[in-house]
Structure 1
Amino acid sequence: MLKYLALGLAALALSGCQPPAPESVLASQKPPSPAVRKEYVAAMRAIDAKGAQFKTAEISSVVLLNPEAKIYAFCVRFRETRIQEVLQVGGYALRDGKIVDASSYDARCSDKRLRWYDFPELRSMRG
């Protein structure tokens, strides 16, 4: 759990201020594929978040962030059972189906135009 917290704090420190997503990016919204969901759960396991228990978990639509570089982005928000009052939100960049960047509390994830989906794979994640 300490590794998970350290990763989140590091990503927050590196994220900086980011503007909301432009309309053209949000127009490319597609529901997250099973491969995207699986990649995120695998990343969570890799940082040893196995002990986490999620009360709620949602994943956003996948949007085309950079057409030239073929970079896509999505957000995840969740509430851990043991930490009732804190909603964790993170933004993630994908290239070739792999997560290549992450930022905690990414401002683009707060965009009201972004669609959210239930993420039962994360809620049921066990060692």
Structure 2
Amino acid sequence: MLKYLLLGLAAFSLSGCQPPAPESVLASQRPPTAAVRKEYVNLARSVGASGAVLKTAEISSVVLLDPGAKIYAFCVRMRETRIQQRLQVSGYALRDGKIIDASTYDSRCNDKRLRWYDFPELRSMRS
């Protein structure tokens, strides 16, 4: 699983700039469900990210990215309390309640029209 996640991250980082999300995609925004939050926390635990102490953690609205394939997308942004104070932002694709792809510093996550929610489940995550 980790190998596929890393391959996905590499592919997205090499793919270049991505355009901002169209209005039709952003019109489909819905708050993230408990299942989406839990799926992300489980993914973070599976890749060994549970040791970080986070100052902030937020999750974006879930948007319908591809209606035909029923693929949804959301973003997560966080800042650690340790030395590295840089904001980390990642985008995720979701199908049938499972994360199927990820990209670091996804430009679509910077869209000002995207709504963000506090993510205490991630801040309180322990190994």
Q: Same fold (TM over 0.5)?
A: yes
TM-score (norm 1): 0.89
RMSD: 1.8
Q: In structure 2, do the counterparts of structure 1 residues 112 and 122 end up closer, same or farther at CA, with 3 Å as the change threshold? A: same
> Unaligned regions of 5+ residues in structure 1, if any?
none
- Residue identity matched to 2:29: Q
Return the alpha-carbon distance in structure 2 between the equivalents of residues 9 and 27 of structure 1: 27
- The structural deviation recorded for 1:85 is 2.3
Q: Deviations over 1:19-38 (max 9, x none)?
A: 00000000000000000000
- CA 1:112 to 1:16, structure 2 compared with 1: closer, same or farther past 3 Å? same
Letter in 1 for 2:37: R
* Deviation at residue 15 of structure 1 after TM alignment: 4.8
Q: Which amino acid is the alignment partner of residue 102 of structure 1?
A: A
Q: Unaligned 5+ residue runs, structure 2?
A: none
Tell me the distance in 2 between the aligned counterparts of 1:12 and 1:22.
19
CA contact 2:51–2:126 (8 Å) conserved in 1: yes
User: What number of residue pairs does the alignment pair up?
Assistant: 122
Using the size of structure 2 for normalisation, the TM-score is 0.89
Secondary structure in 2 matching 1:69:
coil
What is the CA distance between 1:84 and its match in structure 2?
4.1
Match in the other structure for 2:118: 118
- What is the percentage of aligned positions where both structures have the same residue? 79
Residue 77 of structure 1 corresponds to 77
CA distance in structure 1 between the aligned counterparts of 2:25 and 2:83, rounded to whole angstroms = 33
Relative distance call for 1:69 and 1:90 in structure 2 (3 A) is same
Distance (whole Å) between structure 2 residues aligned to residue 97 and residue 105 of structure 1: 22
1:59 and 2:59 correspond: yes
Please say if residues 58 and 77 of structure 1, whose CA atoms lie closer than 8 Å, have aligned partners that are also in contact.
Answer: yes
Runs of 4+ in structure 1 off by over 6 angstroms are none
Please tell me whether the aligned partners of residues 14 and 103 of structure 1 are also in contact (alpha carbons under 8 angstroms).
Answer: no
The equivalent of 1:89 in structure 2 is 89
Farther off after superposition, 9-18 or 87-96: 9-18
- Give the partner amino acid of 1:96: D
The farther-off stretch of 80-89 and 96-105 is 80-89
Question: Structure 1 residues 84 and 10 mapped into 2: Cα distance closer, same or farther (>3 Å)?
Answer: same
Query: Cα offset for 1:46?
Result: 0.5
- Correspondences of 1:94-113 after superposition (within 5 Å): 94-113=94-113
